[in-house]
């Protein structure tokens, strides 16, 4: 374990209540506690390669206020519980906020054969640079959750000091830093419940693409994929330029890039996250001085629910906002 050197959490504490023990309960219970979906304005951007993405914005606020962008997790969206909570927290502070949807995650299938993946730093770069222009000189902050956090961290490390021209600060919540470790962990024990949940929509989308682009994919392999490894080997890897699942998981992992990050970045991983085993967490030597690593003992995978009963989801967004606020000037 890495508890000996991890930075302790600042207020508000991200400590699970006594009546919610274990990483699995702390992962699943927040799904029943989703805040109300705030009023959002949808905008569609055409991509440079002829596709599109949809972005959901909070209603227009102060044009001089900071702008927070949230990159969601695997099969997530602006409707995810963590997105709703962060949008509410940003609105309460008077900040602007937007959730860009990865391709195919906004409720509308994207045009191309490709979709999105954990290491798509090129897409992150295009989105952030366009949002930086929209920020109008105000601070731009980026948070990424799970898959979105991994992609954001990889972009931060690849761009190093150039990223500071775009972002004032960043945060990654429960990113699968080593995709091989996390991917294989999701194929064992109770974690297969999560994999089955993801695969239900991933397979359906991939089969629709196979039908729309005849001859490009093997529908039988996609249909028979009962693990994320098998799905990534049959669809994610080949359509995004990787040799296979092993090659994808190795090249898309953000852990090797953490040492190069120059933007002030909060890295937050719960020690009992069932998606991110302790072996996936970085050592002190693997982090740059710009990365603050916090690993509370509880929280599950993007759970971080707090008392009182039946639980609240405001501690995590407040932690992110507090981190961003220290870099808002």
User: 144 near 151, Cβ under 8 Å?
Assistant: yes
Annotated active-site residue 224? The verdict is: no
User: 297 near 271, Cβ under 8 Å?
Assistant: yes
Annotated active-site residue 323? The verdict is: no
Closest CA to 185 of 170, 171, 174: 174
SS3 60: coil
Q: Name the active-site residue from 146, 182, 227, 254.
A: 146
User: 98 near 171, Cβ under 8 Å?
Assistant: no
Annotated active-site residue 253? The verdict is: no
Q: Name the active-site residue from 72, 101, 132, 301.
A: 301
Closest CA to 263 of 185, 165, 177: 165
Q: β-strands 41-46, 52-57: how paired? A: antiparallel
104: Cβ contacts below 8 Å, ≥ 6 apart: 110, 115, 116, 205
| DSSP 8-state code for residue 61 | -
Burial of residue 64, with CB atoms counted within 10 A of its CB: 0-12 exposed, 13-18 middle, 19 or more buried: exposed
Dist. CA 286–CA 166, nearest whole Å:
24
Q: Name the active-site residue from 72, 273, 290, 323.
A: 273
- Residues belonging to the active site: 146, 273, 301
């Amino acid at each position: 374990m890495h508890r000996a050197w991890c930075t302790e959490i600042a207020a508000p504490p991200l400590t699970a209540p006594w009546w919610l023990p274990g990483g699995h309960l702390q992962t699943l219970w927040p799904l029943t506690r989703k805040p109300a979906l705030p009023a959002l304005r949808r905008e569609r951007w055409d991509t440079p390669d002829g596709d599109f993405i949809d972005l959901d914005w909070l209603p227009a606020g102060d044009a001089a206020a900071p702008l927070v962008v949230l990159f969601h997790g695997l099969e997530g969206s602006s409707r995810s519980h963590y997105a709703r909570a962060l949008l509410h927290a940003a609105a309460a502070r008077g900040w602007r906020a937007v959730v860009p949807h990865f391709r195919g995650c906004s409720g509308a299938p994207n045009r191309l054969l490709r979709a999105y993946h954990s290491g798509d730093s090129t897409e992150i770069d295009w989105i952030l640079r366009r949002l930086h222009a929209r920020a109008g000189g105000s601070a731009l902050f980026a948070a990424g959750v799970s898959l979105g956090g991994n992609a954001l961290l990889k972009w931060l490390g690849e761009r190093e000091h150039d990223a500071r021209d775009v972002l004032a600060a960043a945060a990654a919540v429960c990113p699968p830093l080593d995709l091989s470790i996390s991917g294989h962990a999701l194929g064992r024990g109770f974690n297969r419940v999560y994999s089955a949940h993801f695969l239900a929509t991933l397979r359906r989308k991939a089969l629709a693409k196979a039908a729309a682009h005849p001859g490009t994919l093997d529908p039988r392999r996609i249909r028979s994929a009962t693990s994320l490894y098998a799905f990534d080997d049959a669809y994610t890897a080949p359509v995004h330029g990787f040799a296979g699942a092993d090659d994808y998981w190795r090249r898309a992992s953000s852990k090797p890039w953490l040492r190069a990050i120059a933007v002030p970045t909060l890295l937050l991983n719960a020690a009992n996250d069932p998606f991110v085993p302790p072996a996936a967490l970085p050592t002190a030597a693997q982090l740059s001085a710009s990365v603050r690593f916090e690993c509370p003992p509880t929280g599950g995978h993007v759970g971080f629910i707090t008392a009182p009963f039946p639980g609240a989801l405001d501690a995590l967004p407040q932690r992110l906002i507090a981190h961003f606020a220290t870099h808002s000037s």
